Chains A and B, each alone.
Chain A
Amino acid sequence: MKQDFKPNIVGFLCNWCSYAGADLAGSSKLEIKPYLSVIRVMCSSRVNSNLVLNAFLWGADGVLIAGCHPGDCHYEKGNYYVRRRFALLKKILETLDLEPDRLQLSWISASEGKRYAEVVNKFAEDITRLGPSAFHTNPNI
């Protein structure tokens, strides 16, 4: 693992819970590792496999999807669907041994600023440990 490896992590955050949680982490001045770029979506269920694959294949070292806790979805059921889709994607990557650990699904509520910071930092650590994604440099992808 190189010292200067700064992973690129893409985080899809749902507007109502996780994005608010991230804001709270910010206003609580919690320190996070500067590797995660946040992309706001209205509901975690908007995140389809293509977006995740895009990020992953285009060289993201990690992808995080965060939404409201099950049952808390602002649109009632969205996160249940995304969980299924995610389970599918994870399984595909697992079967093909494509480093499924680079994908993570987390439920982060609006009040969980602390958790947001913890999740992001832990994920960043894990990814740093995994090292750069090889897709990043493969000219055939």
Chain B
Amino acid sequence: MSNVLKIKKGVEQGVNELLKFLLESEKVKGIFTLRKMNENGAVSYSLITHPKELKNAVPLFPLMPVNAGKILSGFTLKKAINEPIAAVLRSCELRAFIELIKRTQGSLENFLLISSTCGGVYPLKSLTDGTFKEQVSQYWESAKNAEIASDIRPTCAACEYFIPQQADMTIAIVGKNDLQQECSIFLNTKKGEEFTIGAPGNIVSEEIDTKETTKLREKRQDQKKKLFDEFEKNGFGIKALVKTFAACLSCHGCSKACPICYCTLCDFDSKTHEYLPSSHEIELEQKGGIRIPPGTIFFHIGRMIHMAVSCVNCGMCSDVCPVNIPVSTIFSKVGDSLQKLFDYLPGKDIEEPVPSGTYKEEEFTEIGE
């Protein structure tokens, strides 16, 4: 059981109320959250420092233009912030941020982390093809009923980690019947409680995990299985992969959008993987023909080797792919399996080391003998 701040307002207004309180009471220097930019529905993350700008804040808006974990990492890369900032971000974004901090790509210090039980987000494409407005009308209803909202990112539909783990406060959405009347904010940490002292609303005690959340988790798990099965049905092995990645432009947009891919200069973009003309010619001699630029499969599997154990299934990679390759499905399938192998859930615990950076002497002992 934990303390819950109840604000008698619809969840969206309620959160805004809280944010306004935090900023106006100068408990925080700024609010990092989604902000509406124009009438087309485009949103972006913004650091809001003036309460008047909060009118455009849409913290729970079901779109993810970028993974906020990546943004916060860049924000605190040089050093930690020295005054408190409240950051509103989704579970997978928070997990990504924590994964990055494990790699010293940022700092949690002085952040007040606000998250929510997540109903998923819509693909960015829905914004550009104009379907978003219609789709989003269903969103809150589905969340309330602990259903999978239709048309959300496939990876969201298959995400079972929608309850954030490391947040100071969690806004309950999934399965909350009274969404439109009441905003429930779970105060998970001492920090969360301290910051809400004096906030509007009253405190009660509740459990975040409910029957409803379990229901959604199960549905999502089913969906995941379905998704993975479908992928496997499409074929396995090198031939299938070639087909899957046939249209790949080698733009590497997936890696740029990926929160976990934090390298300044990606190895696959570096000189290491440039070919001498002579090696092209040798291969041409052997095969009669070669794809140019080469290394499409190598890049994707290589990237997988580098980051799949930390993949948080946010789905950014699929969204930015100009040729609609289901990158996130493949990565979450492989990620899922590798994470199980090392019994590791990315972003769950900031103290837990990244599997590739550690080992146990007594593991996999059958190997190599």
Is residue B44 contacting chain A, with contact meaning CB distance below 8 A?
Answer: yes
Cα separation A139 to B45 with both chains bound (whole Å) = 11
Interface residues on A, range: under 10
Give the nearest-CB partner of B37 in chain A. A140
Q: How far is the CB of A17 from chain B (nearest CB, A)?
A: 35
Distance between Cα atoms of A108 and B35 in the complex (Å): 46
Q: Chain B residues with Cβ under 8 A from A140's Cβ?
A: 37, 44
A-B contact pairs, 5 of them (CB 8 A): A139-B35, A139-B46, A139-B53, A140-B37, A140-B44
What are the interface flags for B45-61 relative to A under an 8 Å C-beta threshold, 1 for contact and 0 otherwise? 01000000100000000
Q: Which 5 A-B pairs have the closest CB atoms?
A: A140-B37, A139-B46, A139-B53, A140-B44, A139-B35
Bound-complex Cα distance A139 to B53 (A): 9
**Chain A residues in 8 Å Cβ range of B44:** 140
- Alpha-carbon separation in the docked complex, A140 to B48 (Å): 11
Write the chain B residue with the least CB distance to A140.
Answer: B37
Bound form: Cα–Cα A139–B31 in Å: 14
Minimal beta-carbon separation of B149 from chain A (angstroms): 28
The minimal Cβ–Cβ distance linking B364 to chain A, given in whole angstroms, is 50
Interface string of B26-50 (1 = CB under 8 A from A): 0000000001010000001010000
Chain A's nearest CB lies how many Å from the CB of B221?
39
A residues within 8 A CB of B46? 139
Smallest Cβ-Cβ distance to B38: which chain A residue = A140
Select from chain A the residue with minimum beta-carbon distance to B50.
A139
Those of A34-51 within 8 Å (CB) of chain B? none
How far does the alpha carbon of A140 sit from the alpha carbon of B44 in the complex, in Å? Answer: 9
Report the separation of the CA atoms of residues A139 and B35 in the bound assembly, to the nearest whole angstrom. 10
- Nearest chain A CB to B286's CB is how many angstroms away? 45
* B53: chain A residues within 8 A (beta carbon): 139
Query: What CA separation (Å) do A139 and B44 show in the bound complex?
Result: 11
Neighbouring B residues of A139 by C-beta, 8 Å:
35, 46, 53
- In chain B between 53 and 77, which residues have their CB closer than 8 angstroms to a CB of chain A? 53
Query: What chain A residues lie within 8 Å of B35 (beta carbons)?
Result: 139
Q: How many angstroms from the CA of A139 to the CA of B47 in the assembled complex?
A: 9
Measured CB to CB, the nearest residue on chain A to B49 is A139
* Cα of A140 to Cα of B35 in the assembled complex, Å: 10
**Interface readout for B104-147 with A: 1 if CB under 8 Å, 0 if not?**
00000000000000000000000000000000000000000000
Within 8 A of B (CB), among A76-96: none
Interface string of B250-265 (1 = CB under 8 A from A): 0000000000000000
B44 closest partner in A (C-beta): A140
Q: 1/0 per residue A48-90: CB within 8 Å of B?
A: 0000000000000000000000000000000000000000000
Distance, CA A140 to CA B40, complexed state (A) = 15
**Chain B nearest CB: distance from A66 CB in Å?**
32
Q: Closest Cβ of chain B: how far from A2's Cβ, in Å?
A: 20
Give the distance to chain B from A140, nearest Cβ to Cβ, in Å.
6
Q: In A127-141, which residues have CB < 8 Å from any B CB?
A: 139-140
Min CB distance, A54 to chain B, in Å? 17
Q: In chain A, what residue has the closest Cβ to B56?
A: A139
- Tell me the residues in window 92-141 of chain A with beta carbons closer than 8 Å to chain B beta carbons: 139-140
User: For residue B35, which residue of chain A has the nearest CB?
Assistant: A139
Given the complex of chains A and B, what is the CA–CA distance between A139 and B46 in angstroms?
8
Q: How far is the CB of A57 from chain B (nearest CB, A)?
A: 16
Q: How far is the CA of A140 from the CA of B53 in the complex (A)?
A: 12
Distance between Cα atoms of A140 and B65 in the complex (Å): 14
In whole angstroms, how far apart are the Cα atoms of A80 and B46 in the complex?
Answer: 41
Write the chain A residue with the least CB distance to B42.
A140
CB-nearest residue of chain A to B47: A139
- Chain B nearest CB from A42 CB (Å) reads 27
Nearest-Cβ distance from residue B180 to partner chain A, whole angstroms:
30
Taken together as a complex, chains A and B put the C-alpha atoms of A76 and B123 apart, in Å, by 55
A139→B37 CA distance, assembly (Å): 9
A139 to B: closest C-beta gap in Å: 7
Chain A nearest Cβ from B58, distance in angstroms: 14
B214-232 contacts to A, CB under 8 A, are none
Q: What is the distance, in angstroms, from B301's C-beta to the closest C-beta of chain A?
A: 36
